[in-house]
Chains A and B, each alone.
Chain A
Amino acid sequence: MNWITNYVRPTINSLFSRREVPENLWTKCPECGTMLFHRELKDNQNVCTSCDHHMAITPRERFAALFDGGIFTEVKVPKPVADPLHFRDQKKYPDRLKAAQKATGEHEAMLVAEGEIGRTPVVCAAQDFAFMGGSMSMYVGNAIIAAAEVALAKKRPLVLFSAAGGARMQEGILGLMQMPRTTVAVEMLREAKLPYIVVLTHPTTGGVTASYAMLGDVQIAEPNALIGFAGARVIEQTIREKLPEGFQRAEYLLDHGMLDRVTHRKEMRDELVTVLRMLMQLPPAVRGDLPAPAPEPVPEKKPEPPAAKPEATEKKAAPK
């Protein structure tokens, strides 16, 4: 026995064993209870492979799956004044913010990026429900305005993935004022005749639905997403009756004429490409003649393809 067997070897062993058995190797589907292997779940964009239940997906993971080759450029968002009201409930607002930043690894509740989807240049914004319930803060307002400004400058459409409980209470009236602020951003796109597509994901409620999330040219939702203005509990207390099955779910809204489409996450990318290219007066995307996928599904780490002449390359690939 020496220090090697007593100290070094156990340390090395523990290092390796830790790596071999990471936590969260399996995720239980909250809908059907199936145990899902993490890699399989990730490949399926956090949709249950057994029951198609759409679980939450981070903006970064969503963008990685959405943009061509998983390549996108983050759009810089101007930072607003921090904690404008010096808000304090049981915790201080800056502490809640820090905790959310630590838990998500993101700076705030919205990520904005530009890049290409199916060779179609776009600007995308995605809200992060894991960050303080995705709540609409001044930063989120700034993010949407920044997204609209980039879209305007580069004449690109904006696709926005919403997920939020509503306005951020800790910013009080300034949280609420993001409703008109973000509506100004929507107006900018409207006037520039640039498509604005909203993809409503689970859950999108409150002041967010009552502003930018309901003002899209095309309104698409993910299956079974909860979408509404008032919370179901508040409604039940007000009207003193039970709400019907599926109330405020995407399919229910589709039936009531509040959405254009309900689309599976795995089909969302193709659908966005199709719709955007028509609205942008671009020729149809040709999927059939794309080169066969490489044996490894790992995307090539080549730099973003030059934006110039995307149509030319597609024409070459077009069928006779």
Chain B
Amino acid sequence: MNYLEFEKPLAEIEGKAEELRAMARANKQMDVEKEAAALDAKAATMLRDLYKNLSPWQKCLVARHPDRPHCKDYIDALFTEYTPLAGDRNFADDHAVMGGLARFNDKPVMVIGHEKGNDTKTRIERNFGMARPEGYRKAVRLMDMAHRFGLPVVTLVDTPGAYPGKGAEERGQSEAIARSTQKCLEIGVPLVSIVIGEGGSGGAVAFATANRIAMLEHSVYSVISPEGCASILWKDAEKMREAAEALRLTAQDLQKLGVIDRIVTEPLGGAQRDRKQSIAAVGKVIETMLAELSGMKPDALIKDRRKKFIDMGSKGLAA
């Protein structure tokens, strides 16, 4: 179990309880259950208190938690017959973006998402979830296919942002993102999106221009990372706490602003503490959002999506 900076006191108590139990296992005469249970109770209270009022910056840390379920975990658990489709037919296959045909509740859909990887090897392979132009162009290809065959599209957003690299720029990173957003607006099939971790700027918009958008309780979605914003506006990257506060990047604020439709409740202590429960909750919300859109004609779906974004933000925080 990986602990975050602000979870250190919790780590200590849980560590102690674990230590006691390990000792008891080694020495059968020792009876530690009472003490360990007391520690467990203390840890549970602390966890509840910690997660009751997470600051925006703490939410960023939870959203980036390495043990959080990632795109691949959701696809493996929620979809059947997942058949990955690779490549942009131009240059390469981007492993930061996964996608393909799958069945959701037995109905065929197209699922696309950013994958960050969960150990050093897969993280490097997935480029930490930072897509290159090929990733967005693959997504455009898959969305187009979904449109032609009438398959709903489900996107899972989890990226620090699009990859800032030399080749990515040369091959048109910005054009690729713009085309992906454009394709989102053009397809005559239901498009639902869930921000499962980090919604990093344009790299997230490219997938999240959807009819219905949900966010996990402790996920974030922002125009810029708090660190980036702090270094530009405060001229000090260490001011990320203030920046996170000012940017209003939490799921709760985004719902108030009318940018997202739904918040998916996470288990106490974040999605990483009970991955199964988180995955099931996401499955439920995908089901609900797709049901809301079922029966709508292609034109109506396109219109609905456009109107959603044209009207967005018209009321500010008062929405």
- Chain A contacts to B: CB under 8 angstroms: 80-81, 83-90, 138, 145, 167-169, 171-177, 179-181, 183-184, 186-187, 206-207, 209-215, 228-231, 234-235, 238-239, 241, 243-244, 247-248, 256-258
Of B32-40, B47-55, B309-317, the one contacting chain A is B309-317
B285 at the interface (CB under 8 A from A): no
Q: Which chain B residue has the least Cβ–Cβ distance from A89?
A: B233
Tell yes or no: B101 within 8 A of A by CB: no
Q: Which of A174, A177, A214 contacts B178 (CB 8 A)?
A: A214
Give the residue name and chain of the A residue nearest to B318 (CB). Answer: A81
B243 at interface (Cβ–Cβ under 8 A)?
A: yes
Is B257 touching A210 in the complex (CB atoms < 8 A)? no
Q: Are B172 and A173 in contact (CB under 8 A)?
A: no
Closest-CB distance, A287 to chain B (whole angstroms) = 33
Name the residue among A87, A179, A212 with the largest chain B CB count within 10 angstroms.
A179
B219 at the interface (CB under 8 A from A): no
Mark out the residues of chain B between 100 and 147 whose CB falls within 8 Å of any chain A CB in the assembled complex.
none
A83 to B, closest residue via Cβ: B316
Known A-B contacts: A173-B221, A210-B175, A214-B175. Give 14 more (CB < 8 A). A81-B316, A83-B316, A173-B248, A173-B257, A176-B201, A177-B309, A179-B181, A184-B310, A206-B202, A210-B206, A212-B178, A215-B179, A235-B169, A239-B165
A129 to B104 alpha-carbon distance, docked (Å): 47
Rounded to whole Å, the gap between the CB of A123 and the closest CB of chain B is: 18
- The docked-state distance in angstroms from the alpha carbon of A169 to that of B306 is 23
Complex interface: chain B residues within 8 A of A215 (CB): 178-179, 182
Roughly how many angstroms separate A244 CA and B170 CA in the complex, as a whole number?
Answer: 11
Known: A174-B259, A180-B181, A230-B173. A187 touches B306 (CB 8 A): yes
Known A174-B259, A230-B164, A256-B172: A187·B186 in contact at CB below 8 Å: yes
Contact A177–B312 (Cβ < 8 Å): yes
B-chain residues with CB within 8 Å of residue A214 when the two chains form the complex: 172, 174-175, 178-179
Q: CA separation between A145 and B307, bound complex, in Å? A: 12
**Shortest beta-carbon distance from B163 to chain A in Å:** 8
- Chain B's closest residue to A241 (CB) is B166
B173 surroundings in chain A (CB, below 8 A):
210, 228-230
Are A167 and B310 also in contact (CB < 8 A) when A89-B246, A256-B172 are?
Answer: no
How far apart sit A257 and B223, CA to CA, in the bound complex (Å)? 28
Across the interface, do A84 and B202 meet the contact criterion of CB distance under 8 Å? no
Interface assignment of B71: CB less than 8 Å from any CB of chain A: no
Q: Across the interface, do B202 and A187 meet the contact criterion of CB distance under 8 Å? A: no
Distance, CA A209 to CA B253, complexed state (A): 27
List of B residues within 8 angstroms of A243 by Cβ: 166
Report the bound CA distance from A179 to B222 in whole Å. 13
User: What are 21 A-B pairs at a CB distance below 8 A?
Assistant: A81-B318, A84-B313, A167-B201, A171-B223, A173-B248, A173-B249, A174-B313, A175-B223, A179-B202, A180-B205, A184-B310, A187-B186, A209-B175, A210-B178, A211-B177, A211-B202, A214-B179, A230-B168, A231-B164, A235-B169, A256-B170
Q: Is the CB of A183 within 8 A of B209?
A: yes
Instruction: Tell me, yes or no, whether B184 is within 8 Å of chain A by CB.
Output: yes
Which residues of B, 160-202, contact A by the 8 Å Cβ criterion? 162-166, 168-175, 177-179, 181-182, 184-186, 201-202
Binding site for A on B (CB under 8 A): 162-166, 168-175, 177-179, 181-182, 184-186, 201-202, 205-206, 209, 221-224, 229, 232-234, 242-243, 246-249, 253-254, 257, 259, 306, 309-310, 312-318
Given that A145-B310, A183-B185 are known contacts, is A229 also in contact with B174, CB under 8 Å in the complex? yes
With A175-B223, A184-B309 in contact, is A84–B317 under 8 Å at CB? yes
Which residues of the partner chain A approach B316 to less than 8 Å between Cβ atoms?
81, 83-85, 174
Distance between Cα atoms of A168 and B232 in the complex (Å): 12
What distance in Å separates the Cβ of B233 from its nearest Cβ neighbour in chain A? Answer: 4
Structural contact, B165 and A169, CB atoms closer than 8 A: no
| Beta-carbon nearest neighbor of A231 in chain B | B164
The answer to whether A88 and B185 have CB atoms under 8 Å apart is no
Chain B residues near A210 (CB-CB < 8 A) = 162, 173-175, 177-178, 181, 202, 205-206
Which residues from chain A contact B312 at a C-beta distance below 8 Å?
174, 177, 180-181
User: From residue A232, how far is it (CB to closest CB) to chain B in Å?
Assistant: 9
The answer on a CB contact under 8 Å between B234 and A90 is yes
Distance of A243 Cα from B167 Cα, bound (Å): 11
CB of B131, distance to nearest CB on chain A (Å)? 12
Decide: A88 and B178 in contact? CB cutoff 8 A.
no
* Docked pose: A207 CA to B173 CA in angstroms: 11
* 6 pairs of A and B residues whose beta carbons are closest in the complex: A84-B316, A230-B164, A209-B174, A176-B223, A229-B174, A89-B233
Contacts of B318 in A (CB 8 A): 81
Q: Which of B179, B229, B254, B310 contacts A169 (CB 8 A)?
A: B229
Question: Are A209 and B314 in contact, CB atoms less than 8 angstroms apart?
Answer: no
Contact partner of B234 (CB less than 8 A), chosen from A89, A209, A234, A238, is: A89
Chain B residues whose CB sits within 8 angstroms of the CB of A179 once the complex forms: 178, 181, 202, 205
Please indicate the chain A residues that have their CB under 8 angstroms from the CB of B177 in the complex.
210-211, 229
Q: Give chain A residues whose Cβ lies under 8 Å from the Cβ of B313.
A: 80-81, 84, 138, 174, 177
B184: chain A residues at CB < 8 Å are 180
Contact residues in B for A169 (Cβ distance below 8 Å): 223-224, 229, 232-233, 247
Q: How far is the CA of A239 from the CA of B168 in the complex (A)?
A: 11
Q: How far is the CB of A230 from chain B (nearest CB, A)?
A: 3
Selected from B162, B172, B229, B243, the residue in CB contact (under 8 A) with A258 is: B172
A180 touches B174 (CB 8 A): no
The answer to whether A176 and B202 touch across the interface, beta carbons within 8 angstroms, is: yes
B230 and chain A: residue at smallest CB distance: A89
